[in-house]
Structure 1
Amino acid sequence: MRNGSWPLAIAVVLTWGFVYLVTQVFPDPPLEVEATVLIGLGITLVLTIGYPSALRGPRQAGPVRRSPGRQGRTFAAVDRSMPLRSGLTAEAARRAVRLLHPVLGGDSVAITDRERVLAFQGPGSDHHTVGDRPQTEASVRVLAKGRTVVVRNRGRLGCPDPDCPLQSAVIAPLAIGKRVVGTLKVYRVDEIPPPRDVVEGLAGIMSLHLELAELDHERKLAVDAKLDALRAQINPHFLFNTLNTIASKARTDPEEARRLLLRLSDFFRYAVRQDGHLVEFGQEYFFVRTYLSLEQARYGERLRVRYDVDPQVLSAHVPVLTIQPLVENAVKHGLADKVDGGTVRLKARVDPLTRTTSIRVSDDGVGMSAELLERLTSGDGAAEGGVGLRNISQRLQALYGERYRLDIQSDYGNGTVVDLRIPLG
């Protein structure tokens, strides 16, 4: 018990004795036990609140030490602000050092990767230079063994500069899984090292953010790969058939052939050169209309198109190259084999209450058998002239997690309806 707490303890004991006497001994009859307890608790609470030294302890000279609760709030604030979600880069390390320096209890703070110092702030920055290899022997040990090192004197620190002011340090590894990718180093200019648990705790937070950054990068690579695969699945028969249509028009209607050729150029320019994974619906809408105009040139009156698009949808963001493949499947699998053709409908709405964008692609064509629908959703549809719906579903999963819905209903002989619902963006 702290020395400052003894007077309070004695006062509480005397108080309960006094309360017992005036409520149980002197009165006749004595008060109820509940009343005695409540009176005693009330006076004890007043004494405790009015005696702050018992809670705070005696004042100490030197640096202020944060209480565990305050440290926890500091960690939470740092966790929210940590700039390492983009990876262990020099810019991210520089911002992290600037954020961490006030809360780590050290004079200097540095972050390194395995090859070089990424950021350094505080005394010693004249020779612990950003871009150089880590100089101290302790840093090399941490990178090699993946365990925190506490250094309590300058000799064990192992800095080759004889004028280095740094005397002690705590150096913690930054790791992604079991792979050490760098270090967090906190130095002091005296021989009292910084608190190890604080440094290790913040190194753990940093490592978690680096793991999330790597997962984000891997997910982006996976989505990129699926987008490239989708581009590669653009049906070569569509190109050949469109070129044949243009060649035929060139003899009978040269002006129409020229327009179709420009539309075909727009189609492939958008499909191949579109950057990023999200675009405004208006751009996808233009792409769909370009595609359908080329198909209408081929099928003529057998292919009818109806658009029902809320103008509010045009500025909403949707995944690139997602709507056109759904429309293409409607044409290829719904209407191409129907003698008198049919109608493809595109409907799009925004629901501001649920903050979702709803897109429906439907046709009144021949529909699909359960076996064909299974092949399309499993990714084998491209082999039959369609675009695999499984690829689209996996891209949506990578972009939105569980926050999307892709429902397909097909009645053989009566057509197909595809409903897509994604978060409004």
Structure 2
Amino acid sequence: MPPVVVAVVVAVVLVAVAVAALRVLRRGDLGSEADKATYATLNRASQAAPALREGLTEDAAESAARHLHALLGSEGFAITDTDRVLATDGAVAEGLGMDAVATVLASGRAAVTRDVGALGHVAVVAPLVVEDRVVGALVAVTDDATANLVRATTEVARWVSSQLELAELDASRARLAEAEVRALRAQISPHFIYNALTAIASYVRTDPEHARELLLEFADFTRYSFRRHGDFTTLAEELRSIDRYLTLERARFGDRLQVTVRVAPEVLPVAVPYLCLQPIVENAVRHGLEGKAGPGHITILAEDAGSECLITVEDDGIGADPEQIRLAMTGEGDSDSIGVGNVDERMRTVFGDEYGLVVETGPGLGTKVSMRVPKFTPGVHA
């Protein structure tokens, strides 16, 4: 089983057991000493977990140290990375040096180090491992290293490692999401900026007031497109940005570009991935209508469907070969088609595989792109 899966399973099991223990406590059924000890252990673990999910930093180690120390019940406790002691708890652990953990960091196996500190204490040291990399160590400082303490230190180190794995997974997801948005911006922006500024320039002498209005729309659009915070936005904000985009494109196309927008008020507050509609609308303009003789029509619909919001973007343009769309969705197409595959991947990552894009098209038949967005998803908010 992959390390990340193991980490997730461990975390889920701990949460489930903790919830069950809490329910028992509320009923007043923790009569035995074993029940009380179990609840106390789970409670300590749950208090340490949030800090550890931030990664192996000094702040996280200091926040979690006293809870982890209480789990072990040793005279002293310390947590290190591969370079330094990040936090200690208990007077006997103060002044602990990295020499006490050097062997464990090198071997990746738990060990007992004797004659630690001025009073000659014993250190039980267990490695912290993330994806087969030793990233630090957990240290229980004691007068006597019993077999039970060695086992306990090893198990707590494994649990801490699982939390650090989850922290790294969260960080990698965040980096991936940011990289995907950066790639999307890089694909959209140069083409659009060139066309928008060219269109604005055409009005500078003939209609300077209109040129000024278009420049303000352009500024608002780029401010939204290049913002640096948040993976999600509301459908209302996304549609507002699309309206600015279409205003600028109308300056270029004139009466050739016709747009119909129908949105149910109930779905305006729904949280959607940032820049999930803009690439689809831009594809409709660039790949659907630019190559079409005469006027073209884009229809944007957002409908209320109970627990979901149904969104469609349809154009009556030149259409496309379904095989080309399939390649774009799987990342095998050319870079000019990165938008639709990017959005499809992010939708599936956030909401699940059943929420990918549905594209209906054919040469000369126009294109219709549909997506379903759950109104409420844990962890998703604008």
Q: Shorter chain as normaliser: what TM range?
A: 0.7 to 0.9
For 1:235 and 1:379, locate their aligned partners in 2 and report how far apart those are by CA, in whole Å: 20
1:11-410 alignment to 2 at 5 Å? 77=43, 80-81=46-47, 82-83=49-50, 84-124=52-92, 126-128=94-96, 134-135=97-98, 137-151=99-113, 156-159=114-117, 162=118, 164=119, 167-189=121-143, 195-234=149-188, 236-351=190-305, 354=307, 356-379=308-331, 387-402=338-353, 404-410=355-361
Q: C-alpha displacement at 1:76, in angstroms?
A: 5.0
Q: Which residue of 1 aligns with 2:367?
A: 416
For 1:173 and 1:395, locate their aligned partners in 2 and report how far apart those are by CA, in whole Å: 35
Percentage of pairs with the same residue: 39
- Counterpart of 2:101 in structure 1: which amino acid? S
Question: SS in structure 2 opposite 1:322?
Answer: coil
Question: SS in structure 2 opposite 1:157?
Answer: strand
Between the two proteins, the alignment pairs up a number of residues equal to 343
Question: SS in structure 1 opposite 2:357?
Answer: strand
CA 1:177–1:290 in structure 2 vs 1: closer, same or farther (change >3 Å)? same
For 1:417 and 1:226, locate their aligned partners in 2 and report how far apart those are by CA, in whole Å: 23
Q: Which has the higher contact order (CA 8 A, sep 6+)?
A: 2
TM-score with structure 1 setting the length: 0.72
Q: C-alpha displacement at 1:288, in angstroms?
A: 0.6
CA 1:187–1:279 in structure 2 vs 1: closer, same or farther (change >3 Å)? same
For 1:381 and 1:190, locate their aligned partners in 2 and report how far apart those are by CA, in whole Å: 64
Where structure 2 has 5 or more consecutive residues not aligned to the other structure, the ranges are 1-31
Q: C-alpha displacement at 1:101, in angstroms?
A: 2.3
Q: C-alpha displacement at 1:292, in angstroms?
A: 0.6
TM-score with structure 2 setting the length: 0.80
- The answer on whether the counterparts of 2:79 and 2:139 sit within 8 Å (CA) in structure 1 is yes
- The answer on whether the counterparts of 1:379 and 1:389 sit within 8 Å (CA) in structure 2 is no
1:180-231 per-position Cα deviation (integer Å, ceiling 9, x unaligned)? 1111111224565762222111111111111222222222222221211111
Q: Which moved more, 1:102-111 or 1:199-208?
A: 102-111
Q: C-alpha displacement at 1:413, in angstroms?
A: 2.6
Q: Which moved more, 1:330-339 or 1:206-215?
A: 330-339
Where structure 1 has 5 or more consecutive residues not aligned to the other structure, the ranges are 1-64, 129-133
Larger Rg: 1
For 2:65 and 2:134, locate their aligned partners in 1 and report how far apart those are by CA, in whole Å: 19
1:48-92 per-position Cα deviation (integer Å, ceiling 9, x unaligned)? xxxxxxxxxxxxxxxxx975x877666655554413121101121
For 2:153 and 2:206, locate their aligned partners in 1 and report how far apart those are by CA, in whole Å: 78
Q: Which residue of 1 aligns with 2:11?
A: none
CA 1:126–1:149 in structure 2 vs 1: closer, same or farther (change >3 Å)? closer
- The answer on whether the counterparts of 1:278 and 1:318 sit within 8 Å (CA) in structure 2 is yes
Runs of 4+ in 1 over 6 A off after TM superposition: 69-72
CA 1:237–1:204 in structure 2 vs 1: closer, same or farther (change >3 Å)? closer
- Counterpart of 1:223 in structure 2: which amino acid? A
Question: SS in structure 2 opposite 1:252?
Answer: coil
CA 1:379–1:302 in structure 2 vs 1: closer, same or farther (change >3 Å)? farther
CA 1:402–1:383 in structure 2 vs 1: closer, same or farther (change >3 Å)? closer
For 2:127 and 2:167, locate their aligned partners in 1 and report how far apart those are by CA, in whole Å: 17
CA 1:199–1:349 in structure 2 vs 1: closer, same or farther (change >3 Å)? farther
CA RMSD in angstroms comes to: 2.8
- The answer on whether the counterparts of 1:309 and 1:348 sit within 8 Å (CA) in structure 2 is yes
